[in-house]
Amino acid sequence: MRIAVVTGGSSGIGAATARLLAEQGWRCVLLARREDRLRAIADEIGAEWELCDVADREAVDTVAARVTERHRAIGLLVNSAGIPGRSTFLRSEPELIERVVRTNYLGSVWCARAFLTALEAGSPSHLVNIVSVAGTVAVGRAGPYAASKHAQLAFSRSLTIELAPRGINVHTINPGFVETEGFPQTQLLEHRVLAHTVAEPALVARRVIAAVERGTVESFVPRWYRPAAVVQALIPGVLARTQAARHRRRKARG
């Protein structure tokens, strides 16, 4: 039986991905912080579960040791755990900035390292990092979150090269706005036009499966977010000036 470990498996993209994997015959091991939600999803899809805060490196190592004792070989690791950081660098509490970086970026690093031996034993295997369009386009009003996702994206791209000789395929998924419990998109959904930019977790889950099946290295969900990343990479000054001008207008209006 194919074994998949999914972090952030109690809700949102992680839960949607676990449901789809279970439908396709994968035996899932779900990791998350909230026991009630984690147990409910696990019972629903017949999965195993472990309480784990991926921001805590020692906790990740401890949980990984328990999981790999039961499952020596793992075919798939999905790093989906993440927390929001919708504030600026100057307004955010220092603790929030640190927490966002530890969870969104370092959490993926700790999980990849902790499950590496099991992924090698399951070779050819797959590691999926759920990053974000925010990892490709810097946004001032969510600076800490964007920075954590930029770091996670660089990590994922580097890992793609590093793990290839070990028979582990790395896939980077960059979702745009997704309506989840942890990332509500209330304002966008209330807008007649912008509501169409919000995706459901199930769409991201389908793209995860597609990336694994087709060997896609990096995907944007929906696909039309990719041009924004290209603009940021080629002419970053344009986006920076546009956002700064918008910020000045809002400040002038009070």
Query: Any idea which residues carry the catalytic annotation?
Result: 145
Alpha carbon separation from 21 to 61, 134, 138, 206, 207 (Å, rounded): 24, 26, 32, 9, 12
DSSP string for residues in 226-240: HHHHHHHHH-HHHHH
Token representation of residue 17: 């991905």
List CB contacts of 35: < 8 A, sequence separation 6 or more. Answer: 51
Tell me the longest C-alpha to C-alpha distance in the chain: 61
d(CA 56, CA 13): 21
Token representation of residue 72: 């020596």
Exposure letters 184-204 (e unless 16+ CB within 10 A, then b): ebeeeeeeeeeeeebbebeeb
List CB contacts of 147: < 8 A, sequence separation 6 or more. Answer: 89, 101, 138
d(CA 163, CA 149): 20
Which ranges of 115-225 does DSSP label H, i.e. alpha helix? 116-121, 143-163, 186-189, 201-214
d(CA 100, CA 114): 20
Question: 103 with 31: CB under 8 angstroms?
Answer: no
